[in-house]
């Protein structure tokens, strides 16, 4: 991504130029947002910046009219949620530039009205990737060769990813030192995640599954024994000579591994992605009548809105009125 001098969230010039702040304070202030969030905002701001250049408009500070015109051009091809995310990026970058409160053009009533109109016209429904359900895990389990080191790693990654309802970034960053095996199963400490910006951390419990074929705990134990990993990242890439590298996998690798095995299982890989594991856990839990709060405890969602979407999807057939008609 090309550097953009007007994007201030990554390296805020106002913070850097403030002589009253210590170097330590500056470093902490620049880490107020997660790295992945900064990358997403940078991409969104670059799109807005390019549009402004093409239309000979000032991007920083922008006027409410400029933002509204950009939103309407964007809405011709993008979803309402994408437009909303771009407006958030524009707003955050203006705040970083010192335009907060009423000075922030993205908070103007005209922008809010435009966003409401776009949502009303386009709707807010998003078709997500297909979930990997418990039934899908059995299909995947048949695809692993237990004498192959790569397969042992991939099986552990997929089963732990599902059982722990991990985000891709969380999954690939799990460290050996964060694992605790108990007679009941496995506990994994997550130091920080997307929903835990203050870094309080959370412990995820994964019990032994009754069926060893889809047991995440046993799959991880087999991988750790075969790989000899005793410290650092537990999910690592291989060199060309099939030696383990000392770093963790990239989060993009999760999607590639998911697609590889669903394809081997005879499913359409285009419908699945890294998020299919986390979504699959929530959907499967809903199908098995797990309550929303218990699901949220494992997924670490802070809002019930997304969890209830998973529950609705999981109950589409279970609570379908046709079932009562077919089975009176």
Q: How many structural domains comprise the chain?
A: 2
CATH of the domain at 75: 1.10.150.130
- For residue 98, the SS3 value is coil
Same-domain pairing of 189 and 241: yes
151 class by beta-carbon count within 10 Å (0-12 exposed, 13-18 middle, 19+ buried): middle
User: Edge-to-edge, what's the strand order for the sheet holding 185-190?
Assistant: 179-182, 185-190, 202-207
> How long, in residues, is the chain?
328
pLDDT of residue 31: 59
The whole-model pTM stands at: 0.64
Q: What is the DSSP string of 190-211?
A: E--BTTBTT---EEEEEEPPSS
Distance CA 153, CA 171 (A): 12
Dihedral pair phi/psi, residue 98, rounded to 5°: 100, 5
Is position 2 within any domain? no
Q: Give the active site residues.
A: 167, 194, 275, 278, 301, 310
From the first residue on, what is the mean pLDDT of each consecutive set of 10 residues in the chain (328 residues)? 67 65 67 69 90 92 94 85 90 87 92 91 67 91 87 96 92 95 95 63 92 95 95 94 91 92 92 90 85 84 69 65 68
Q: Which residues contact 182 (CB under 8 A, 6 or more apart)?
A: none
Is position 78 within any domain? yes
Same-domain pairing of 184 and 309: yes
Among 51, 126, 118, residue whose Cα is nearest residue 80: 118
Is position 265 within any domain? yes
Same-domain pairing of 181 and 159: yes
Distance CA 90, CA 170 (A): 27
pLDDT of residue 1: 46
CATH of the domain at 167: 1.10.443.10
Distance CA 53, CA 66 (A): 11
Q: What is the DSSP string of 126-186?
A: ---PPP--HHHHHHHHTT--TT-HHHHHHHHHHHHHHHTT--HHHHHT-BGGGEEEETTEE
Domain termination residue (choose one: 64, 97, 122):
122
Tokens 């994007």: give the residue: 7
Is position 284 within any domain? yes
Q: Angle at Cα 135 formed by Cα 216 and Cα 327, nearest 5°?
A: 140
pLDDT of residue 96: 83
Same-domain pairing of 174 and 287: yes
Q: What b/e readout covers 264-285, taking b as 16+ CB neighbours within 10 angstroms? A: ebebebeebbbbbbbbbbbbbb
Whether 159 and 137 have beta carbons less than 8 Å apart is answered as yes
Structural domain boundaries, residue 307: 134-314
Same-domain pairing of 264 and 208: yes
- For residue 233, the SS3 value is strand
Same-domain pairing of 108 and 195: no
Is position 243 within any domain? yes
CA–centroid distance for 64 within its chain? 31
């Amino acid at each position: 991504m090309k550097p953009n001098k007007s994007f201030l969230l990554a390296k805020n010039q106002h913070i850097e130029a403030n002589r009253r702040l210590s170097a330590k304070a500056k470093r902490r202030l620049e880490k107020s947002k997660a790295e992945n969030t900064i990358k997403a905002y940078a991409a969104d701001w670059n799109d807005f910046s390019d549009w402004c250049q093409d239309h000979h408009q000032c991007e920083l500070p922008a006027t409410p009219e400029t933002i509204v015109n950009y939103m309407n051009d964007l809405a011709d091809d993008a979803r309402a949620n994408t437009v909303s995310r771009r407006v958030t990026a524009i707003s955050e970058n203006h705040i970083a530039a010192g335009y907060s409160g009423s000075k922030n053009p993205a908070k103007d009533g005209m922008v809010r009205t435009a966003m409401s109109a776009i949502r009303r016209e386009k709707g807010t429904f998003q078709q997500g990737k297909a979930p990997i359900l418990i039934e899908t895990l059995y299909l995947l389990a048949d695809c692993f060769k237990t004498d192959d080191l790569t397969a042992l790693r991939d099986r552990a990654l997929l089963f732990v990813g599902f059982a722990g309802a991990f985000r891709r970034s969380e999954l690939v960053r799990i460290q050996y030192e964060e694992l605790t095996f108990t007679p009941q199963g496995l506990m994994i400490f997550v130091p920080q995640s997307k929903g835990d910006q203050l870094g309080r951390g959370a412990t995820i419990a994964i019990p032994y599954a009754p069926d060893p074929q889809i047991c995440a705990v046993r799959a991880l134990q087999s991988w750790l024994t075969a790989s000899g990993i005793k410290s650092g990242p537990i999910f690592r890439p291989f060199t060309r000579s099939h030696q383990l590298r000392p770093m963790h996998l990239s989060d993009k690798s999760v999607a590639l591994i998911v697609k590889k095995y669903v394809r081997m299982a005879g499913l359409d890989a285009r419908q699945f992605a890294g998020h299919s594991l986390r979504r699959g856990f929530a959907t499967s839990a809903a199908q098995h009548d797990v309550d929303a709060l218990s699901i949220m405890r494992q997924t670490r969602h802070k809002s019930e809105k997304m969890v209830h979407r998973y529950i609705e999807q999981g109950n589409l057939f279970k609570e379908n009125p046709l079932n009562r008609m077919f089975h009176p």
